[in-house]
A and B are shown apart, each in its own frame.
Chain A
Amino acid sequence: MFQYYFLLGLRSLRRNPALTALMVLTLAVGVAASVATLTILHVMSGDPIPHKSDRLFVPLVDNGPIEGYKPGDDRPDNQVSYRDAVNFLNSKAAERATAIYGTSVAVEPARKDMTVFISRGLGVGSDFFNMFDAPFLHGQPWSPADDKAGANVVVLGRKLAEKLYGGTDPVGQRITMSGQQYQIVGVLDTWTVVPRFHRIIGSSDGAFSDEDDMFIPFAAGIRNELPRNGSTTCTSDVPPGYQAFLDSECTWIQFWFETRSASDRPALQNYLDSYAAEQRKLGRLKRNAPNVLYDVREWLDFMKVVGNDSKLSAWLAFGFLVLCLVNTIGLLLAKFSVRAAEVGIRRALGASRREIFNQFLIETTVVGLVGGVLGLVLAFGALALIAMQSKALTVVAHMDWIMLLTTFAMAVLSAVLAGLLPTWRACQVTPALQLKSQ
């Protein structure tokens, strides 16, 4: 019977083409709008590193001036100063740790057919690659000894490596960057982290920025005085010179700890509190504000990675879907009411209310299926349109299998939901009245 009703449903699509088209279109547009915005929200709010998001921590201490400070005032910045970063690195307070700062270098290619160009990258510790699961195509991270020495070694991103060396393995070769020779120790594979949680502050597109071109040891960047590319916050005047800047309370470094297990968090918090107390004895961190740890999810929340605009879009899209559903209910009512006579005959010939209910519900489902397919096509179109808006949106506007199935389920479910009232009304037809009026 199901098959028969299904065929009837397909056939009835043709019976009232204008009305049916309107219904399918309404459903499709509503579904497409909500799926497109939901997809973006889903990607934006995803956990970028699920298996260790509760073991990676951002430590923050408040090193703002005590003058004019009231307890409860905001921290001047959400990064750390060079002094704190170096102390954290030396502390061995956690399993792994890395400081991160953005820099840019002038790459002077060995090939004569290429001119000098600017490359953006990060100064990081050797732990960085293991902490954030960076995939290596060739080679490996540099050694902790290189970290200490601030050696001129570099890990290239895949794009830069291919630009300079084509498909060949460049590990072991030397590359000239900003007038210095660096030895290539590794090349990363394509590494898209969405959201790019490890460096949100100071990237042009925040958590949805492009991959980095290259990575050098944090200490090498400092030793070579490579320029800072990102955000720097100073609460007091800084004397001239690079060393004075390093010694200042300016904050410009992103720091990450990785603990062995999530339960080590209190220990890390203890370390941070005792570190701050010790620094206070040395005359720093006078504000005595709470020291905080953020794990990955808390950090994404705190940095407001999912913007209000994205939430607004999703809300509106859902309001729109509700409207489309109400509209579909009306259209289905119209469609079914014309068929009261048909229901009357079927009932008179012995069909139970349940049978009628099944028939009309299946017919509604057919509408939902067609609306779903069309909605999916429209959703892909909408996402492509959104992706064209900016590079950052290209990263978030793509559909995965979960969203694909959700779209479909949503379309069918909406149609069935919208069909309940009209179907129930169709069942209420009294055969006698209908037959008499014929």
Chain B
Amino acid sequence: MEIRPILSALLRNKTGPILVAVQVALSLGILANALHIVQVRQAVSARVSGIANEAEVFNLQVRRLKNGNHQEQLAAQHRETDTLRAVPGVTSVAITTQMPLSRSGNYTGLASDRRQLKSSVTTTTYVSPDSLIKTWGLQLVEGRDFLPGEIPEIDETTSEEFAKVAIVTRQLADKLWPGQSRYVGKTFFFGTGETARAVQVVGVIDKLQSPNAQIGERGEFSTLVPARLTGDDTSSYTLRAEPGQMDRVIKEAEAALRASSPTPVIVKTKTMNELRRDRYRADVALAWMLVTVSVLLLLITASGIVGMASLWVTQRRKQIGVRRALGARRVDILRYFVTENFMITSVGVAAGVVLALGLNQLLVSQLEMARLPAGYLIAGAAVFWALGVAAVYGPAWRAASISPATATRSA
């Protein structure tokens, strides 16, 4: 074909083509990495918490100004639970010591053997006298929920008592006893050494994230423990409302609690959606910033290609006219410019792939980012080839439309 003449023409006037190739390379290098990071963050923030239909679930905290003794606190908890259950539109109520994605919770080291010196895994513990499995719609894959007889009442200011049973997530069970298929009946330990408390697994749930929802398996190591705790002046409840009733239910639940309490209380609510939004705010913000930069990047590179191609067309009016007069068809002229651009873009894409890999290496080593999969490079290369052809098409068409007569006459 006509690659040789195009190549020799390019080599004769290198500045412009080099500028375009550099632009393509830079854009591809940045774009591939940016979109990869966007995808990683998107995947992180789209992870499921384990709670079914999150939009129906919220957290409600009651802080009592006069807390009373153990018995009075137990009574208050029962009264508050009953009050909340009576609110129309509430389908389920449970006490919980913490919420997934709330970024504030407790973590404890676990051991699968009492002789262990170091804990084998860190878990987060959801303590509740009610059924979180029911309220949150957690999926039980093995065993059963807690029985009423398994739920101790513990005054944390005086008692060292602890529950005897627990429900764990599948990931946690697999970490404690790798390679097993059944976990119910197994015993593990909260803490290590003499004082470690033995707990027996009665159930395994498919999934429940920790309050911090850390990236990787650590965010999935959760334990449910049955107990009714007193000693804190704040009780935390989680409620499920009927679909679409959330706003009204929240308002009425707050009002009902205030009205039912004999002493002043402070009530705070947060929906699962709010918790999720706050947890992933930084990831979403970064993703948006990167998407914005990527779009601008493409626009600017496209404008650069259009600008340079237009310039070349203007510079070569005469030559195009001569070629046309000597019998070249429009499509030949069009093909010339598109081929030329394709060659320049290809050089840019090749350099861009190298640049993307280099940049990714830097991000991995300096900023703890993930490694770039090859798919992004291939997709990026395709995008820039397409962008190059699309951008050059306008100027090339204008070149092809040059009439041989006018082009040669002006000389």
Q: For residue A106, which residue of chain B has the nearest CB?
A: B65
B296 and A320 contact, CB distance less than 8 A: yes
A337 proximity list for chain B (CB < 8 A): 311, 315
Q: Say yes or no: is A118 at the interface (Cβ < 8 Å to chain B).
A: yes
Shortest distance from the beta carbon of A419 to any chain B beta carbon, whole Å = 14
Bound-state CA distance A116–B268 (Å) is 12
Q: Say yes or no: is B281 at the interface (Cβ < 8 Å to chain A).
A: yes
B304 and A326 contact, CB distance less than 8 A: yes
Q: Say yes or no: is B297 at the interface (Cβ < 8 Å to chain A).
A: yes
Contact of A242 among B157, B160, B293 (CB under 8 A): B157
Provide the main secondary structure of the chain B interface: helix
- Number of residues on chain B facing chain A (CB within 8 A): 63
B303 and A319 contact, CB distance less than 8 A: no
Chain A binder among B21-29, B129-137, B371-379: B21-29
B15 and A118 contact, CB distance less than 8 A: no
Shortest distance from the beta carbon of A237 to any chain B beta carbon, whole Å = 4
B27 and A68 contact, CB distance less than 8 A: no
Bound-state CA distance A53–B63 (Å) is 39
Residue with the highest number of chain A CB atoms closer than 10 Å, among B19, B192, B195, B289: B289
Q: For residue B154, which residue of chain A has the nearest CB?
A: A240
Contact of B195 among A116, A237, A316 (CB under 8 A): A237
Chain B binder among A144-152, A285-293, A304-312: A304-312
Bound-state CA distance A236–B191 (Å) is 7
B300 and A323 contact, CB distance less than 8 A: yes
Provide the main secondary structure of the chain A interface: helix
Q: For residue A389, which residue of chain B has the nearest CB?
A: B285
Contact of A327 among B159, B191, B304 (CB under 8 A): B304
Chain B binder among A7-15, A120-128, A267-275, A328-336: A328-336
Bound-state CA distance A322–B26 (Å) is 8
Bound-state CA distance A311–B366 (Å) is 10
Q: Say yes or no: is A425 at the interface (Cβ < 8 Å to chain B).
A: yes
Shortest distance from the beta carbon of B285 to any chain A beta carbon, whole Å = 5
A19 proximity list for chain B (CB < 8 A): 307
Q: Say yes or no: is B143 at the interface (Cβ < 8 Å to chain A).
A: no
Q: Say yes or no: is A324 at the interface (Cβ < 8 Å to chain B).
A: yes
A116 and B65 contact, CB distance less than 8 A: yes
B367 and A326 contact, CB distance less than 8 A: no
B311 proximity list for chain A (CB < 8 A): 333-334, 337
Q: Say yes or no: is A239 at the interface (Cβ < 8 Å to chain B).
A: yes
A338 proximity list for chain B (CB < 8 A): 314
Q: Say yes or no: is B241 at the interface (Cβ < 8 Å to chain A).
A: no
- B192-206 residues with Cβ-Cβ distance < 8 A to A are 192-193, 195-197
Q: List residues of A whose CB falls within 8 A of some B CB.
A: 19, 22, 26, 29, 33, 67-68, 106, 108, 115-118, 178-179, 204, 227, 235-237, 239-242, 307-309, 311-313, 316-317, 319-320, 322-324, 326-327, 329-331, 333-334, 337-338, 386, 389-390, 393, 421, 425
Q: List residues of B whose CB falls within 8 A of some A CB.
A: 15-16, 19-20, 22-23, 26-27, 29-30, 33-34, 37, 63, 65-66, 103, 109, 117-118, 155-160, 191-193, 195-197, 232-234, 264, 266, 268, 281-282, 285-286, 289-290, 293, 296-297, 300-301, 303-304, 307-308, 310-311, 314-315, 359, 363, 366-369
Q: Apart from A33-B293, A323-B26, A331-B307, what are 14 other A-B pairs with CB-CB below 8 Å? A: A240-B155, A240-B156, A240-B159, A316-B33, A316-B290, A322-B26, A323-B27, A326-B304, A327-B23, A330-B16, A330-B307, A333-B19, A337-B315, A393-B285
